[in-house]
Amino acid sequence: MIQVSHLVKRFGSFTAVNDMSFEVEAGTVLGFLGPNGAGKSTTMKMITGFSRPTSGQVSVHGHDIVDDRQAAQARLGYLPEGAPCYEDMTVQGFLAFIADIRGCRGGQRDRSIDRVTETVSLREVLGQRIETLSKGYKRRVGLAQALLHDPDVLILDEPTDGLDPNQKHQVREMILNLSEQKIVIISTHILEEVSAVCSRALIINQGRIVLDDTPDGLRKRAKDHQAIRLRVMDVDPSQILEVCETLPSVDRVEISGKDGDLLIFPKPGSVELLAELQQLLSAKAWQVARLQQLEGQLDEVFRRVTMGDAP
Amino acid sequence: MKSLSTIIKREFLSYFATPLAFVFILVFLVLSSAFTFYLGQFYERGQADLLPFFNFHPWLYLFLIPSVSMRLWSEERKTGSIELLLTLPITLWDAILGKFLAAWALIGLALAGTFPIWLTVNYLGQPDNGAIAAGYMGSWLMAGAFLAVGCCMSALTKNQIIAFILTGITCLTLVLAGFPMVLNFFEGWVPSLILDLIAGLSIIAHFIAISKGVLALTDVVYFVAMILLWLYLTHLALVAKAAD
């Protein structure tokens, strides 16, 4: 378990992380979401013991990151932003160095290197110098070193940044395949990533946690959650709008800007909207060109909570 | 201890992954020989010792050591690999000492590469080999002091050029502190205690004795203390600045 309590980091007069507290249980994939400069990386740097908190505590499986740093770090795997590594080394040499430092020796070392090169598909470049590798491979080398000692806690700072869609998919698959007993914290500003891999998300803005919820929970906060998008052939949208507004479950109806679709928002808590609408459509004998119930847009929630409006 | 030796090994081998080690050793050998034979008038003096060889080492180190030390921390900070290194379960001292000792070993290797000069002087006459051994020891200790200054400067900045210049200037100041022109400047208006202190801080004063073959405890203590002091300052610099 990771416990973060009242964490603060100041650089001069600038407060990067402002009184942040949360706990993460084993089996959680936690997403740090937030605009650039929100304090995601700074928080990760403090959890991994690289940067010293101005005040507040972090403990990793009971080990305080300041007072008992090495014990905490032994249980952590960390991919820093941009996946830096020693580029003049070969992949094999670099992983062997990390394994030595992590205390994997002899046969165990070879097995660990074997395992991670398999997990992140590095076998074909093991003998190459890291500086000659493509960005995707470099990122995989960074992931490999983080996974080498099979840590209980994985901190990955923008693990898919700069990768192509196939590579992004691979990394996400890998994160999902990690043992259920681990804690994984990833930071990202890609919202689809949160839906794809996270079981919980923290939205961070200006050094504070502004939302803490599951991806589904976040989506439920979207204005268009459960709203219905409707297009009817050969009928004037304003005419449909008038009729729709009379339905008991309807809160309000908007005409969506560019394509003339209707967006029908249900009253909070009502579940009858779709049924009512279908009755109406068959009664009027309108021909439906499009009917879609929306799940809610994460980026709308994200924008709302990080642009200053209260959620 | 195990982490320390792992870091020393990685750092030392990394010098040979690029041409840096070969260039450094080559330049060191060429320049130290050229200084000895041309500027030092090794033959013309007609004496079987290595004084002309050792005499130039402070000046040689003044720009060769910063070129090795400038990348030690600056590069790690620039590329971000420092974040990787310092989140491994090692102490900060493991990292500092590992880098320092690996670089010091490289300089030791370059110094050992000058052995043909020692063979030459033994072929030409009967030198005091004990004095020569003391000279080598002193030169290596002095290189360590320069290197420790370089570590500290490299830890202070992400820019290798700035690290190079700061190291060069600091070492030059330490070398010149014992010269008459510096001491004359202070003489008369600072208390003699301070004057002695400035002279006592001078690298050259301590090295001259050793290069003549007198390996006095005070001189050895001076260099070891210099190394420890600057490595301690490196530690302070990294605690303060590593995560900036």
The pLDDT of residue B48 is above 90: no
Using 50, 70 and 90 to split pLDDT, how confident is the model at A73? very high
Inter-chain residue contact B87 with A50, CB threshold 8 Å: yes
**Which of B3, B75, B84 best probes binding to A when mutated, by most A CB atoms within 10 angstroms?**
B84
Q: What is the pLDDT of residue A15?
A: 92
Q: What is the pLDDT of residue B46?
A: 67
Longest dimension (CA), chain A: 77
B84-112 pLDDT per residue, tens = 999 999 999 999 999 999 999 999 999 99
The pLDDT of residue A79 is above 90: yes
Q: Answer yes or no: do A209 and A108 share one domain.
A: yes
Q: Answer yes or no: do A155 and A266 share one domain.
A: no
Q: What is the pLDDT of residue B189?
A: 81
What is the four-CA torsion angle of A276, A281, A282, A288, rounded to 10 degrees? -130
- In whole angstroms, how far apart are CA A191 and each of A195, A216, A298, B10? 7, 12, 7, 39
A217-244 pLDDT per residue, tens = 888 888 888 888 888 887 787 888 888 8
A:B CB pairs within 8 Å: 67
What is the share, in percent, of chain A residues with pLDDT greater than 90?
Answer: 44
Nearest to B84 among A11, A71, A85 (CB): A85
As a whole number, mean pLDDT of residues A266-281 equals: 82
As a whole number, mean pLDDT of residues A19-26 equals: 93
Chain B residues with CB inside 8 Å of A81's CB? 80
Alpha-carbon gap: B148 to the closest alpha carbon of chain A (Å): 22
Question: Which domain-ending residue is among A167, A197, A220?
Answer: A220
Q: What is the pLDDT of residue A308?
A: 64
With a CB cutoff of 8 Å and minimum separation 6, the contacts of B34 are none
Residue A304 within any structural domain of the chain: no
Chain A residues with CB inside 8 Å of B18's CB? 88
Q: Answer yes or no: do A263 and A139 share one domain.
A: no
Nearest to B87 among A71, A73, A86 (CB): A73
Q: What average pLDDT does the structure give for chain B? A: 88
Higher pLDDT among residues A195 and A43, named by residue: A43
Does residue B188 sit at the A interface (CB-CB below 8 Å)?
no
A161-194 pLDDT per residue, tens = 878 888 888 888 888 888 778 999 999 888 888 8
Q: Answer yes or no: do A123 and A37 share one domain.
A: yes
Inter-chain residue contact A101 with B83, CB threshold 8 Å: no
Using 50, 70 and 90 to split pLDDT, how confident is the model at A305? confident
Inter-chain residue contact B3 with A101, CB threshold 8 Å: yes
Q: What is the pLDDT of residue A160?
A: 87
The pLDDT of residue B199 is above 70: yes
Q: Answer yes or no: do A246 and A205 share one domain.
A: no
Residue A102 within any structural domain of the chain: yes
What ipTM score was computed for the predicted complex, to two decimals? 0.87
**Which of A54, A79, A88, A149 best probes binding to B when mutated, by most B CB atoms within 10 angstroms?**
A88
What is the four-CA torsion angle of B216, B218, B219, B220, rounded to 10 degrees? 90
- Contact between A292 and A224 (Cβ < 8 Å): no
Residue A305 within any structural domain of the chain: no
The pLDDT of residue A309 is above 60: no
Q: Answer yes or no: do A54 and A70 share one domain.
A: yes
Does residue B189 sit at the A interface (CB-CB below 8 Å)?
no
Residue A299 within any structural domain of the chain: no
Using 50, 70 and 90 to split pLDDT, how confident is the model at B36? confident
Inter-chain residue contact B84 with A74, CB threshold 8 Å: no
Inter-chain residue contact B87 with A102, CB threshold 8 Å: no
Q: Answer yes or no: do A150 and A282 share one domain.
A: no
Q: What is the pLDDT of residue A310?
A: 46
Chain A residues with CB inside 8 Å of B242's CB? 50
Does residue B91 sit at the A interface (CB-CB below 8 Å)?
yes
Give the domain CATH number at A233: 3.30.70.100
As a whole number, mean pLDDT of residues A72-84 equals: 93
Inter-chain residue contact B89 with A85, CB threshold 8 Å: no
Task: Measure the CA–CA gap between A234 and A58, rounded to whole angstroms.
Answer: 62
Chain A residues with CB inside 8 Å of B235's CB? none
Give the domain CATH number at A89: 3.40.50.300
The pLDDT of residue A195 is above 90: no
Of chain B residues 146-185, which have a CB less than 8 A from chain A?
A: none
Task: Measure the CA–CA gap between B211 and B171, rounded to whole angstroms.
Answer: 18
Q: What are phi and psi of B50, to 5 degrees?
A: -110, 25
The pLDDT of residue A266 is above 90: no
Question: Which domain-ending residue is among A220, A251, A269?
Answer: A220
Inter-chain residue contact B80 with A88, CB threshold 8 Å: no
Q: Answer yes or no: do A256 and A174 share one domain.
A: no
Chain A residues with CB inside 8 Å of B238's CB? none
Q: What is the pLDDT of residue A58?
A: 95
B158-170 pLDDT per residue, tens = 999 999 999 999 9
Q: Answer yes or no: do A249 and A204 share one domain.
A: no
B202-216 pLDDT per residue, tens = 888 888 888 777 778
Q: Answer yes or no: do A200 and A88 share one domain.
A: yes
Residue A67 within any structural domain of the chain: yes
With a CB cutoff of 8 Å and minimum separation 6, the contacts of B177 are B198, B199, B201, B202, B203, B204
Inter-chain residue contact B10 with A86, CB threshold 8 Å: yes
- In whole angstroms, how far apart are CA A138 and each of A90, A145, B171, B243? 11, 11, 39, 22
Q: What is the pLDDT of residue A269?
A: 75
Does residue B1 sit at the A interface (CB-CB below 8 Å)?
no
Does residue A87 sit at the B interface (CB-CB below 8 Å)?
yes
**Where do the structural domains in chain B lie, given as residue ranges?**
1-243
The pLDDT of residue B11 is above 60: yes
What is the share, in percent, of chain B residues with pLDDT greater than 70?
Answer: 96
Q: Answer yes or no: do A256 and A204 share one domain.
A: no
B219-232 pLDDT per residue, tens = 899 999 999 999 99
Q: What is the pLDDT of residue B217?
A: 86
- Please count the structural domains in chain A: 2
Q: What is the pLDDT of residue A311?
A: 42
Task: Measure the CA–CA gap between B232 and B145, rounded to whole angstroms.
Answer: 12
Q: What is the pLDDT of residue A146?
A: 94
Range of the domain at A68: 2-220
Q: What is the pLDDT of residue A65?
A: 93
Does residue B7 sit at the A interface (CB-CB below 8 Å)?
yes
Q: What is the pLDDT of residue B34?
A: 85
Q: Answer yes or no: do A216 and A243 share one domain.
A: no
Question: Which domain-ending residue is among A185, A220, A255?
Answer: A220
Inter-chain residue contact B10 with A73, CB threshold 8 Å: no
